[in-house]
Structure 1
Amino acid sequence: MNQPLKKEQLQPQGKAGAGKRLTTSAMIASIAGEGQATRPAPFGHALAELARTRQDIVGMTADLAKYTDLHIFAKEHPERFYEMGMAEQLLMGAAAGMAREGMVPFATTYAVFASRRAYDFICMAIAEESLNVKIVCALPGLTTGYGPSHQATDDLAIMRAMPNLTVVDPCDALDIEQAVPAIAEHQGPVYMRLLRGAVPAVLDEYNYKFELGRAKMIRDGRDVLIISSGLMTMRALEAAKLLHKDSVDVGVLHVPTIKPLDVETIRREAAKSGRMVVVAENHSVVGGLGEAVAGELMRANIRPPAFRQIALPDAFLDAGALPTLHDRYRISAAVMAQDIKSWL
């Protein structure tokens, strides 16, 4: 079940896919658009580089080194790589043991397996003891077309409810590269969503720097404020460019740290008069960034002209090609732009 499906031919929806047949893997596919700049395996390369100067870094996985880009670390630092087999609970228990011995383990698997299958082991063996384990998980939200067994549409809701656990949802290759040393330096357990393989490079042009626990205003706008995390910041920036053609000025506030939330920045930006607030996330509408932001605004008595959510539905999602699914579930840039325009 952990291996990719054979390639399939599916017709993507939307203008970009008109008249084309898309060759894709339903299991693992790049989220990069046609012609978009990418960098290969930013997590694997960043961790391998960090480990050159930090002997306490170890890499661990549950039969998914290749599919979490940890194979790059394993090749360069084989004496500090541990393959635990298809046993996620064992992976988390062993990572806890490593942390107790003074190591900083990076434990990788798929997000569905960490959040669902290994939840109690993370909670009791790692989070309750505030151990220095970094859990890095691929296939977050709708980044695979393999269906509900591998689509982690509820992982943020699960993980942000766990005490002591820092939760990170990076946007692109640069975000991941900078987040790796930052979470390694942080004392305590971290859950980080992972974009793997050929990861788009988007934030380079915005003079962006990742800071754990801080939201960053990527671009300002007078009409709409999109508060986003993960790959949805990438989509928000694309949607902002599309809406600019219709004279709609869109600001994008990137929130790479879901917990602890940068409440001060979110409240300040959402309080600016005249802007509709839209929260965009690659996660279920239940329990993620949208509800976290809505709760903060309500507690602070901040009332924007309108508040909307762009998120995945509270449902088990279909299998298929990612471009088709992103259109269907309204998280593609083109559909986002359409929806925001209709709300104004």
Structure 2
Amino acid sequence: MLQGSFYSIREAFGRTLVKLGEEDKDIVVITADVGDSTRASYFREKFPDRYFNVGISEQDMVNFAAGLAAVGKKPVVANFAMFTMRAWEQIRNTTGRMNLNVKFTVTHAGYSDSGDGSSHQALEDIALMRTIPNFKVVVPADAAEVERSLPVIIKEQGPIYYRMGREYSPSITTGMDYKFEIGKAYVLKDGDDLAIMGAGVVLWDALKAAEELEKMGISTAVINVPTIKPIDENTIEYYARKTGRIVTVEEHTIYGGVGSAIAEVVVQKYPVPMRFIGSTTFGRSARSQRELLDYYGINAENIIKKALELMK
């Protein structure tokens, strides 16, 4: 695949899913009436007999996918992140407890559904999903990483929560030469004085902040942590020891999300001062995802502010 050939995250997802469907006839797609919005509709156009729309009934969607997994199919659930949480009980009991091979590939996570407001903005889903035994949780940084990681996700045995946004996908990993592995973090930029760690599109702000911090004489590492569970403990510990300071950034609540997962490693392996950037409340309506990230301080300016606090 050509990394970075799709600007939109959901476009990258839909088109990559079709390619995977051509290679593996056991892949089936299930959605709750959001095929067009998630771009799972591309799969429907190519493989209509392997595409199932259950309507606005997320609990049935999960149980139907679990049944398909139980008979050897490879179900890919394509849905909005927020409304997938409506079926958390079924995800836990039917998929998690039975360790079934269902992939929950969700879009419109975080603030990406900016126009529809807080009712559609999933800011708690990573926290909810990483508590379920057997589940892995992955958050690709951009469209290029979707292309790079989705084939690995589909081939992996067992349940996975794969979290994406909608359109906004600033270039973060485009052009990088690495093979995606579940459970591995990636160094976007090396540094000695401070480490910024995070997942998703906000890593663009982390790189922008690191560039400005370098101008101030602060050598700043930026670490992409796409796998929240199982998390790369070795890389986190290494940069805790190397830099002695960590700022985490995420498009999610700071309670139980990416920063919390990183802190759980740091406090056990090598405690260092940390700062956490993310959501602390519900979202709101806006004209764009970028507008909301700036409104809630999940941006380069706030990363720099927190970094300077740690450097005092």
- State the TM-score, normalized to the length of structure 1: 0.83
Query: 1:140 — aligned with what?
Result: 109
Query: 1:182 — aligned with what?
Result: 152
Query: 1:82 — aligned with what?
Result: 52
- Greater share of helix: 2
Cα RMSD for the two superposed structures: 1.7
Q: What amino acid maps onto 1:209 in structure 2?
A: K
Does 1:227 find its partner at 2:209?
Answer: no
Q: Is the Cα contact below 8 Å between 2:247 and 2:306 reproduced in 1?
A: no
Match of 1:287 among 253, 256, 260: 256
Q: Is the Cα contact below 8 Å between 1:61 and 1:85 reproduced in 2?
A: yes
Does 1:236 find its partner at 2:203?
Answer: no
Cα 1:144/1:343, change in 2 over 3 Å: farther
Query: 1:329 — aligned with what?
Result: 296
Deviation at 1:298, TM superposition (A): 1.3
Q: Is the Cα contact below 8 Å between 1:39 and 1:201 reproduced in 2?
A: no
Query: 2:76 — aligned with what?
Result: 106
Does 1:318 find its partner at 2:284?
Answer: yes
Does 1:122 find its partner at 2:91?
Answer: yes
Q: Is the Cα contact below 8 Å between 2:247 and 2:303 reproduced in 1?
A: no
Deviation at 1:259, TM superposition (A): 0.6
| Farther off after superposition, 237-246 or 282-291 | 237-246
Deviation at 1:199, TM superposition (A): 3.4
Query: 2:271 — aligned with what?
Result: 303
- 1:1-344 aligned at under 5 Å gives the runs 38-39=7-8, 41-115=11-85, 117-145=86-114, 146-197=116-167, 199-272=169-242, 274-300=243-269, 302-304=270-272, 306-313=273-280, 315-321=281-287, 322-344=289-311
Q: Is the Cα contact below 8 Å between 2:191 and 2:221 reproduced in 1?
A: yes
SS in 1 for 2:64: helix
Q: Is the Cα contact below 8 Å between 1:242 and 1:334 reproduced in 2?
A: no
| Farther off after superposition, 324-333 or 45-54 | 324-333
Structure 1 distance, partners of 2:216, 2:113, is: 32
Q: Is the Cα contact below 8 Å between 2:33 and 2:55 reproduced in 1?
A: yes
- State the TM-score, normalized to the length of structure 2: 0.92
| Farther off after superposition, 333-342 or 136-145 | 333-342
Structure 2 distance, partners of 1:209, 1:235, is: 23
SS in 2 for 1:265: helix
Q: Where does the alignment leave 5 or more consecutive residues of structure 1 unmatched? A: 1-36
Structure 2 distance, partners of 1:233, 1:284, is: 16
Structure 2 distance, partners of 1:198, 1:76, is: 26
Query: 1:11 — aligned with what?
Result: none
Offset from partner CA, 1:116-170 (integer Å, 9 cap, x none): x100111111111111100011121222222221111100110000111111111
Deviation at 1:248, TM superposition (A): 2.6
Q: What amino acid maps onto 2:185 in structure 1?
A: A
Deviation at 1:39, TM superposition (A): 4.9
Structure 1 distance, partners of 2:67, 2:249, is: 37
SS in 2 for 1:334: helix
Deviation at 1:198, TM superposition (A): 5.9
Cα 1:95/1:331, change in 2 over 3 Å: same
Cα 1:151/1:198, change in 2 over 3 Å: closer
Structure 1 distance, partners of 2:167, 2:248, is: 27
Q: Is the Cα contact below 8 Å between 1:50 and 1:181 reproduced in 2?
A: yes
Deviation at 1:197, TM superposition (A): 3.7
Cα 1:199/1:326, change in 2 over 3 Å: closer
Deviation at 1:343, TM superposition (A): 4.1
Cα 1:168/1:134, change in 2 over 3 Å: same
| Farther off after superposition, 142-151 or 83-92 | 142-151
Query: 2:3 — aligned with what?
Result: none
Q: What amino acid maps onto 1:104 in structure 2?
A: K
Identical columns (%): 34
Structure 1 distance, partners of 2:297, 2:167, is: 24
Offset from partner CA, 1:287-320 (integer Å, 9 cap, x none): 11211211211112x132x21111111x222222
Deviation at 1:243, TM superposition (A): 2.5
Q: Is the Cα contact below 8 Å between 2:112 and 2:166 reproduced in 1?
A: no
SS in 1 for 2:202: helix
